[in-house]
């Protein structure tokens, strides 16, 4: 599976009122492994950044003045992301800007160029309700160092988000990956991926005795046989 982790920096917060993209950073993963085939451009937005945005990304008008315009990198960008699953933190923001830039060039909306779009902010809110779920907060939560992140940068943030996403979805590794076509009925296109050995620890005699004593106490409380004992007996009969 080809996945692209994507981030942008912009001149401000509102694409519809004239703010533009000034940086695009993308990190490629194939079968959950970073490939090093990244995509990164600073872009001349043909306007100044808002003071608040400039304080976040630090990319001055002077620095961006000799960089390519979005129209000059649009073909390469669309080819790079084409058909891939896209991972973005707070996806509506970045997609809104990309849609406006593509619309300026008479191109289809961003979603029409790519596969599924995964919003890690939505996933983080589902996994950690009521907690801060900014990229910095998620880095802290998953033990990912972001000490070198003094200003926001699209490529750096994409690299951090890739690590966050892998940590968030660590339990979703597949035992096999289909590398062939649908015609590989004999299984020739299936590569088995080795995973870490699963350790099974048997209970000690002391632990078994303590467990039985606990069940005896439950039996006394219900004045009969507790559900735990019933379930254990049924399981043993089934085996």
Q: What is the pLDDT of residues 158-195, one digit of tens each?
A: 999 999 999 999 865 433 344 444 444 444 444 444 44
Q: How far apart are CA 73 and CA 67, in angstroms?
A: 10
Task: Give the residue numbers marked as catalytic.
Answer: 152
Q: For position 36, what pLDDT does the model report? A: 96
| pLDDT band, very low/low/confident/very high, at 234 (cuts 50, 70, 90) | low
Higher per-residue pLDDT: 166 or 222 = 166
Say which residue, 205 or 2, is predicted with more confidence.
Answer: 2
Q: What is the pLDDT, as a whole number, of residue 213?
A: 76
Residues of 193-223 as b/e, b for ≥16 C-beta within 10 angstroms?
Answer: eeeeeeeeeeeeeeeeeeeeeeeeeeeeeee
Q: What is the pLDDT of residues 176-186, one digit of tens each?
A: 344 444 444 44
3-state DSSP assignment of residue 178:
strand
Distances (CA, A) of 83 to 53, 103, 112, 116, 117: 31, 19, 9, 9, 11
For residue 174, the model assigns a pLDDT of 39
Residues of the chain with CATH 3.30.420.10: 2-178
Give the 3-state secondary structure percentages of the chain, helix then strand then coil, rounded to 5: 45, 15, 40
- CA-wise closest residue to 77 among 102, 104, 51: 102
Write down the CATH number for the domain with range 2-178: 3.30.420.10
């Amino acid at each position: 599976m080809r996945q692209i982790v994507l981030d942008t920096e912009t001149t401000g917060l509102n694409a519809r009122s004239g703010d533009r993209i000034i940086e695009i950073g993308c990190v490629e993963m194939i079968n959950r492994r970073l490939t090093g085939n990244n995509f990164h451009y600073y872009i001349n937005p043909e306007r100044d950044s808002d003071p608040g945005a400039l304080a976040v990304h630090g990319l001055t008008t002077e620095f961006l003045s000799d960089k390519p315009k979005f129209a000059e990198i649009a073909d390469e960008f669309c080819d790079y992301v084409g058909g891939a699953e896209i991972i973005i933190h707070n996806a509506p923001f970045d997609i809104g800007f990309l849609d406006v830039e593509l619309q300026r060039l008479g191109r289809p909306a961003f979603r029409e160029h790519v596969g599924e779009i995964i919003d890690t902010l939505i996933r983080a809110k589902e996994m950690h309700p009521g907690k801060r779920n900014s990229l910095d907060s998620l880095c802290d939560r998953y033990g990912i160092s972001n000490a070198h992140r003094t200003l926001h940068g699209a490529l750096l943030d994409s690299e951090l988000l890739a690590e966050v996403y892998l940590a968030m979805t660590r339990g979703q590794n597949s035992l096999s990956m289909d590398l062939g076509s649908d015609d590989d009925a004999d299984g020739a296109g299936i590569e088995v991926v080795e995973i870490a050995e699963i350790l099974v620890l048997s209970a000690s005699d002391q632990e078994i005795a303590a467990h039985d004593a606990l069940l005896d106490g439950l039996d006394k409380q219900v004045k009969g046989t507790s559900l735990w004992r019933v379930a254990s007996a049924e399981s043993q009969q089934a085996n």
